[in-house]
Structure 1
Amino acid sequence: MMKFRKNLLAASIAAVPALALTGNVMAQGMLEEVIVTAQKRSESLSDVPISVNVVGGEQISNGGITNLNDLADWVPNLSMNQTGLGTNVTIRGISSGINPAFEQSVGMYVDDVFYGRPQLARVPYLDVNRVEVLRGPQPILFGKNAIAGAISAVTNRAATDVVEGFAEASYNFDQEGYEVQGAVNIPIGDTFAIRLAGLKRDEDGYYDNTFLDQTESQLDHEIIRANIQWDATDNLSFNLKIENADFTTEGRFLEIINPVGGPPTYADALLAATGGAVILDDKQDFKRQSNGDSDETEVDNITLTIDWDIGEHTLTSVTSSLEYDYFQNCDCDFTSAVIIETAGNENYEQFSQEFRFASSTGNTIDYILGAYYSDYDIDNDELLAIDANSILAAAVPAAAPVIGTGNTRLYTMSSEQWSVFGQFTWNISDTLRLTLGGRYSDEDKEGTRNLNVVDLQGQTGPFDQTTFPIVDGTSFAPLVYFAGFGIDSEQFSGNGEGHNLAASRSESKFTPAVNVQWDISNDTMLYASYTEGFKAGGFDARSNLNTNFEFEEEFAESYEAGAKMSLADGAAELNVAVYYTEYSDLQTSQFDGVLGFNVTNASSATTQGIEMEGRWQATDSLYLTGAVGYLDFEFDNFDISQCYYGETPDNPETGLCDRTGDTREYAPELTANLGGAYDIEITNNIGLTFGLDLAYSDDYFVSPTLDPNLKQDSFVKLNGRIVVEDLDGTWSLALIAENLTDEEIMTFGNQAPLSTTLTGGAATAYYAFYEAPSNVAVKFRYNF
């Protein structure tokens, strides 16, 4: 381990002079300074002693970036993957997994407001100024749950001194989708302004559902936002943001793939159970068969930010009310056969208040002090339905008692937390700085989970409700749910205790951070840091076992060293970070092989690697960017992992496998991107830009069981754009191409539910989500 760290550091240091020499010899232009608020102050990116990647608003527009998933191509060691039950956001191999109970390992923030739920990661981008990705634990200024890193999106505020705005329209030829968005900034007098922004997106998708004869996933996104700015005095300002987002999908971008075992195979079993009516396409071809899926999310957010300059200090208050309603209907056997249907509704309400008191900079000691309070409530109701049309009646005669019934899961969790934090920077000299910080957090949680077998009263899917009467005491259905599907219910459980759980927990933690910065020259800053972080424990929302409810906190200790360099007289820059992080009690969520997911705390894991990012204004016309991330993730001790299908358990008594020494899902060893843009002046008023971007990823697993049937091969994705624009910046017309190499990129996968059950254990199959194949869009933008 130590040898690896020494070699990694040596390699990063050796790379610096080579890149510096190249820049000094060839560079001619000058880079534009990037301003960020990664440390809750406006400062140059080159002065921030953290591994930070910034994607600006212009880059978001030019690159066709519509949400967090698209952003991952530009940021090494970052991925965002949508699943059947949630969204995984991963930094340096660390993510939360799919469980509604989990706090996110990557803290997501929009205008300083914590967006902690995975569903909020799907909110489309609108009128965004920039997105900052901070890698590594960020416990001081971003809070207890940013144990892997933080993603901070900053939207455009209203400005009191200018009338401006934009209108933008695009059309995607391959997915037959259009998007229109725009914003207008209107000053009212000298101290008041309002900025209105809106977005409408409609898209048919890139999957062909051959059973329903329609394309999927069909998207319908709408967002409206009002941002109101009042500069009450020269020292006091108020900003109010009111936003509503509504985004729906019809269908999913997944399919059944990689059949294993038999006879009978999964396709054989479905064919026999339906009398030849269901022919399963189990090849990866962007075609699927399903009875239909849909989901809808509505998000409302009101945020009031107050900035008050008091002498040489600034007091900032951020008050927010955030809530959403989410409903989904899922044909969760993912075939055209009627086997199981699910429906679910989640309601989330959050209130938060943060105060920050910041000194001016340039003093002997600069500091930021703060306090934070939040409370939230989650209500998650789900229905697993086996209606009267289910083929289980013919395929599994023993399942007869559950035909026409369902299993409801009612889950609630409430949280109340507060914290205080401080970060102090001692400017020891003009070139040497020491930063000390700490945060104390205290949280109380209460959770409940109740599983009941219900009578569907003759209703068949798709279902638009989750509430049905509980079956009577003479029914054998609860026994069959337990024996056949491993579901403990309130009416029947393996240990006779029912499934009506309630618990509370309290936890508190102090997390420190230490950082040293040294300006070895006017162009080079070195830094080293030590940080501790933790992620809250909670109550499992997804397990079907009444013995699996509470899980514990997750902890991290992280070491990082880096350099930020300006090269070639300001024409180029290079940022390097080397990191080593140890995690204990790592929270994981794994499919139980039938219908549920179980949460466990892995004993320990280590993630380490290197990140290098650079940009170079090679000439006045040529701009180049590049980044690379090397990641080595390893479970140090994890002997309670679920096995994949056909794997021999390491512990025959428990049926579990030992992943000690193994990697985990979403942890490719190498990720990189390389981009360039070349400008040509056609006339005195018209310019032409050619842009090309390459994104590379090493192979990686997409399932926590590390099933080799769910491993994504390494790939190179090529994106390009041609832009014709008015040199005054008034208008632009762009042709944007994504995934020109037509890579088949798997983003999540798992065993197809009941595929092993229907084949009597002789075979299984898998489902997997895939990114879009190659597609081309045209975009027009008008600025005023």
Structure 2
Amino acid sequence: MSKKRCYLSASAFAALAAASVAMPSTAFAQASDQPGAGTENAEIIVTAQRREQSLQDVPISIAVASGETLRESQVSDLSDLGNRISGVKINSAGASDSLNIRGIGSGFNMGFEQAVGIFVDGVYVARSQVIRGGFLDLERIEVLKGPQSTYFGSNTIAGALSIVTKKPSQNFEGYVSALYSPSDDEYDVQAAVGGPLADGLSMRGAFRLFGMGGYIKNLRLDNRGPNNSDIQARLALRYETPGALDVNLRIDYAKYDDKHTELQEIVNCPPAPGYGAGPNFDQPAGTCAGILVPGDQDNKLNYVTASGDASFELEAINGALDIAVPIGGHTLTSTTGYYYHDLFRTTVSGASFALPAFNLPVGLPLSQPEKFRSFSQELRFESDKGGLVEYMLGLYYDNSNMKGAINTGFYFSDFGALANARAMATGAAVIPTATPVAQEVYGDQDQSNRSIFAAATVNLSDAFRVNLGARYSSIRKEAHRTTRAGRGDAIGQVADEFSPEQFNTWATTVGRVAGDYRNTKRTDEKFMPSVNIQYDVTPDVMLYASFATGFKAGGWSIGQNLDEFDPETVKSYEAGIKASWLDRRLTTNITIFNSDYDDLQESTTIIDANGINQSVIANVGKARARGVDLEIGVRPFTDFSLSANIGYLDAKYLDYANAPCPILPTDPALVARIAPICPVPNLGGGRKAYAPKWSGSVSANYSTDLSSDLKLKLGSWLYFSSRYFQQANVDLLTSQPGYAKLDLRASIGSIDDRWEFGIVAKNVTDKATGNYRAAMTGSNAVAVRVDRSRSIAFQLSTRF
């Protein structure tokens, strides 16, 4: 059976299954999992369309997790959350992090905007490093799959992640929670308290201290990592006059001081048969040969490494002011946002050793400073519900500036001597002998976004609705690039700059391309319509079908090359059914989707002719993501629930000319097609990176009263993924094999939930996996950033 017929058969089966049981919507956190969901009739409220609605009424594929559920199960950051949602993969390594939904995300370059927009209380946070932040005092998180252009703007071409913080109220309430894991010295202390300050005026404050000692042993440096020490704090104020005015002000502060981060383990060294550059094509070469000399390379993922060091420091401020005013059957809402961060990241290739003459500890250090600030303003004018036509009109503006650099130390070989040798014929200036050469590439980018958007729901009957939406965006950018080189320090920064003549010798022979971009300004404009049809078969069964478009602006690579990339666009089709039956004891959600991408922005990490890692950016001609999402929730009785979140994904490049070569493909079909035309293959037909064919989770929760004062809770979460690539080169060496992991939780607490003591076990079977893989310099060895090992933590919390 052909793959197309297989997909159509799967879609038909899913549709028949949906019709036969009249299935409803469910979510990553089921209604039964929500705090206070004491009955099976509790419903989940979301703001996926920028207004409060029941999850079952929203015609969008969406997963929801409550803040209480996240805190209890110690799902503490986005990477941990992504493991539990089908079709979602998160990477936190490289010059930028990446959030992928249905195989679509942004690659590892500072110049990229994110394909999955992240919003905190409706305010867009443009930089990818927010992925590394922990969760603090949240109401819920909504993960919206597919383009969300109307309500969340451009640059949400793959989806949106909406984080909703806990709002102040006139009720005095709060919590304190403390967790400690002796297995890796993880600690997490957080507290929140809120209540009235005056009539209509309330406040809520929260803070969190968290970190760990590390779960990876570094034999080379005799330490453990990651060694994190992080802090978050929030102050929120609310003034509310029921029916007249609602004002919310929130200010967040975060500081991350993380050492020994991104510790990488090395695999394929010695290389497996079929790889290598020796006389038999299976011998260690380049860096791989070098790291075998100390004898501490074990060629497997086991939480032991001999890599170089790394660090991540970030200080951030994030604020939002939201004002809602009723005006004659309408509501006018103003949302003002501000975000700032100052980041400094260092990392050292685990397989590159500096020449002894350089008197430096590492051979390929990288450092990345970055400062970013943004301001945004949105106005929405929304009609009340209940009329023939419900509508929303809006204006949006944002302005941002990013200043960042990539510093690289070229210390594993005498590149100064190599540059001199190549320049001898021209009589160019000479670089002093035995100079450890470092180069800085600095980028400065300004951006502004002007948008107008509108949405309308036409209620043709009590059961039939048509939702229309559109957004027009004009995004203006200006970017400049400068480079310099000279004698470098231990983290790859230029300590003693070359003369102009020496820099010209370096840049025209061995070094990175110098100079500014060819085009330093650009404006990208796009009109993005959408249409969605809903039909209520019964009050508990809703069918929907939608067509949506999306757009992500073009830009420049901020890094070693002068790459400029064009905008990418998408046309997306989706159909689903949401329903509930048996008095909401059984809920399900099924979605069938197909998204066609043109000029998809893609990057991958390659090794250049000098043996140096670099990010290559290009627009993929065409790509496609299609599949089926299935979510089921069962609550046979009040104290027991089961849920499953399972996705099938077929995400491929349809046309990817001039793509990077694999290290060496082992699939015979790929060898036959790619090897003869490298180094400029077409990866059309190859699977997208971060796009497993199967992924998802299954969870079970049970609670019972032990006495009139005590309650027992038990929970389990099994999450899984089939194999997926972690670079855009269709190479098995840079892929993560399929896996399944298990988390468990048991707690005992008061019958009224005032206090609780719990034990949380994560990755119980100690399955070693990696979330990022890249080729090593001058070798076919692969560096792997390893996920967390097994941990057992003790958690004590109280609510008031």
Q: State how far apart, in whole Å, the 2-side matches of 1:275 and 1:606 are.
A: 41
Give, in angstroms, the shift of residue 334 of structure 1: 5.0
Aligned to 1:764: 780
State the match for 1:470 in structure 2. Answer: 497
Aligned partner of 1:13 among 15, 22, 25: 15
Is residue 231 from structure 1 mapped to residue 258 from structure 2 by the alignment?
no
Task: Give the corresponding residue for 2:459.
Answer: 427
1:646 aligns with 2:675: no
Task: For residues 53-77 of structure 1, give each alpha carbon's deviation from its aligned partner in whole angstroms, at most 9, with x where no partner exists.
Answer: 1011121012111111111132111
CA distance in structure 1 between the partners assigned to 2:522 and 2:533 by the alignment: 37
Measured after TM superposition, the shift of residue 521 of structure 1 is: 1.0
When normalised by structure 1's length, the TM-score is 0.91
Find out whether 1:667 has 2:700 as its counterpart.
Answer: no
Q: Which residue of 2 aligns with 1:518?
A: 535
Deviates further, 239-248 or 336-345: 336-345
Q: Does 1:316 align with 2:333?
A: yes
1:254 paired to 2:264: yes
CA distance change for structure 1 residues 333 and 503 in 2, over 3 Å: closer, same or farther? Answer: farther
Q: Residue 495 of structure 1 aligns with which residue?
A: none
Q: For residue 630 of structure 2, what is the amino acid of its counterpart?
A: M
1:493-532 pair list within 5 angstroms = 498=515, 503-532=520-549
Match of 2:741 in 1: 717
State whether structure 2 residue 352 is matched by structure 1 residue 327: no
Structure 2 match to 1:71: 81
Per the alignment, do residues 266 and 336 of structure 1 end up closer, same or farther by CA in structure 2, a change over 3 Å counting? farther
* Cα contact 2:416–2:435 (8 A) shared by 1: no
- How far apart, in 2, do the equivalents of 1:720 and 1:768 lie? 26
- Aligned equivalent of 2:398: 374
1:352-367 mapped onto 2 (5 Å cutoff): 352-367=376-391
Paired letter, 2:563: F
Query: For residue 206 of structure 1, what is the aligned residue in structure 2?
Result: 215
Q: In the alignment, residue 617 of structure 1 is paired with which amino acid?
A: R
The SS at the match of 1:764 is coil
Q: 1:271 to 1:232 in 2, by over 3 A?
A: closer
Counterparts of 2:213 and 2:495, CA distance in 1? 34
Distance 1:269 1:8 in 2: 46
Alpha-carbon displacement from aligned partner over 1:663-714 (angstroms, at most 9, x marks no partner) = 1111111112111111121001211011111112111111211221122111
1:50 to 30, 36, 60: 60
The aligned counterpart of 2:630 is 612
Shift of 1:46: 0.3
Secondary structure, in 3 states, of the residue corresponding to 2:129? helix
Q: Secondary structure at the match of 1:657?
A: coil
Alpha-carbon separation, structure 1, partners of 2:486 and 2:464:
67
Q: 1:268 to 1:168 in 2, by over 3 A?
A: same
Check whether the contact 2:137–2:165 (CA below 8 A) recurs between aligned residues: yes
Match of 1:494 in 2: none
Matched-pair contact (CA < 8 Å) for 1:738–1:774: yes
Q: 2:373·2:401 contact (CA, 8 Å) conserved in 1?
A: yes
Structure 2: distance between partners of 1:275 and 1:668 = 33
Tell me what 2:648 maps to: 630
8 Å CA contact 2:353–2:364 kept in 1: the answer is no
Q: Secondary structure at the match of 2:642?
A: strand
- Does the CA-based 8 Å contact 2:190-2:206 persist in structure 1? yes
Q: Say which of 179, 189, 194 aligns to 2:188.
A: 179
Amino acid at match of 1:238: V
Corresponding letter in the other structure for 2:64: V
- Change beyond 3 A, Cα 1:383–1:21: closer
Other structure's SS at 1:740 match: coil
Report the more deviating stretch, 51-60 or 377-386: 377-386
SS of alignment partner, residue 98 of structure 1: coil
Alignment partner, residue 461 of structure 1? 490
Q: Please state how far the C-alpha of 1:572 moved relative to its aligned partner.
A: 1.6
Deviations along 1:152-207, whole A, 9 cap, x unmatched? 01000111x21110000000121111110010003112111110100001201211
Q: Deviations over 1:282-305 (max 9, x none)?
A: 432211223421120111012111
Q: 1:445 to 1:9 in 2, by over 3 A?
A: same
Taking the aligned partners of 1:504 and 1:108, their CA distance within structure 2 comes to: 26
Distance 2:176 2:605 in 1: 45
From 156, 162, 165, the equivalent of 1:155 is 165
Q: Secondary structure at the match of 2:349?
A: coil
Change (3 A) 1:271 1:727: closer
- Equivalent residue, structure 1, for 2:513: 488
Give me the whole-angstrom Cα distance separating, in 1, the residues matched to 2:289 and 2:8: 60
Cα separation, 2, equivalents of 1:395 and 1:483 = 11
Contact 1:244 1:301 in 2 (8 A): yes
1:274-329 per-position Cα deviation (integer Å, ceiling 9, x unaligned):
99567545432211223421120111012111011123211111111111000012
TM-score after normalising by structure 2:
0.89
Of the candidates 569, 589, 598, which is equivalent to residue 555 of structure 1? 569
The yes-or-no answer on 1:540 pairing with 2:557 is yes
Q: Following TM superposition, by how much is the alpha carbon of 1:455 offset from its aligned partner in structure 2, in angstroms?
A: 3.2
| Structure 2, gaps ≥5 residues long | 26-31, 33-37, 355-361, 423-431, 666-670
Aligned to 1:197: 206
Identify which of 731, 745, 748 aligns with 2:769: 745
Among 444, 448, 454, the alignment partner of 2:476 is 444
The Cα of 1:122 is off from its aligned counterpart by 1.3
Decide whether the 8 Å contact of 1:20 with 1:568 is kept in 2: no
8 Å contact from structure 1 (residues 346, 378) kept in 2: yes
What's 1:779 paired with?
795
The separation in 2 between residues aligned to 1:512 and 1:643, in whole angstroms, is: 37
- What is the CA–CA distance in structure 2 between the aligned matches of 1:402 and 1:480, rounded to whole Å? 14
Q: Note if contact 1:447-1:503 (Cα within 8 Å) is conserved in structure 2.
A: yes
Aligned length: 752
CA distance in 2, matches of 1:269, 1:514: 55
Distance 1:167 1:29, change over 3 A: closer
SS of 1:9's partner is helix
Corresponding residue for residue 701 of structure 1: 725
Q: Distance in 1 between matches of 2:232 and 2:462?
A: 47
Aligned mates of 1:578, 1:137 — CA distance in 2: 14
CA distance in 1 between counterparts of 2:687 and 2:716 reads 32
Q: Distance in 2 between matches of 1:507 and 1:278?
A: 53
**How far does the alpha carbon of each residue in 1:602-656 deviate from its partner, in whole angstroms, 9 at most, with x for none?**
1001110111112121112211111111100121111221001235684867721
Q: Could you tell me which residue of structure 1 aligns to residue 313 of structure 2?
A: 296
**Alpha-carbon distance between aligned partners in 2 of 1:558 and 1:564, rounded to the nearest angstrom:** 19
**1:73-119 per-position Cα deviation (integer Å, ceiling 9, x unaligned):** 32111111111222110000101111111110001111101012111
Deviations 1:565-618 (A, max 9, x none): 102122121111100110000110122313211210010011101111121211
Distance of 2:687 and 2:286 partners within structure 1: 34
CA distance in 1, matches of 2:689, 2:246: 46
1:481 Cα deviation after fit: 5.9
Amino acid at match of 1:514: V
Give the alignment partner of residue 109 of structure 1, picking from 83, 94, 119: 119
Whether 1:88 aligns to 2:98 is yes
Q: Say whether 1:405 aligns with 2:437.
A: yes
Q: How many Å separate the matches in 2 of 1:190 and 1:69?
A: 41
Contact 2:654 2:685 (C-alpha < 8 Å) held by counterparts = yes
Q: Which whole-Å CA distance do the structure 2 matches of 1:266 and 1:239 have between them?
A: 63
Say whether 1:345 aligns with 2:369: yes
Change (3 A) 1:484 1:450: same
Question: In 2, distance between residues paired with 1:88 and 1:22?
Answer: 31
CA distance in 2, matches of 1:19, 1:694: 25
* Root-mean-square deviation over aligned CA pairs: 2.7
For the pair 1:599 / 2:601, whether they are aligned, the reply is no
The answer to whether the 8 Å contact 1:434/1:514 transfers is: yes
**3-state SS of the aligned residue for 2:130?**
helix
How far apart in 2 are the matches of 1:482 and 1:608? 45
Contact 1:574 1:613 in 2 (8 A): yes
Cα distance per residue 1:465-506 (max 9 Å; x no partner): x4545312553x754565456x223xxxxxxxx556551001
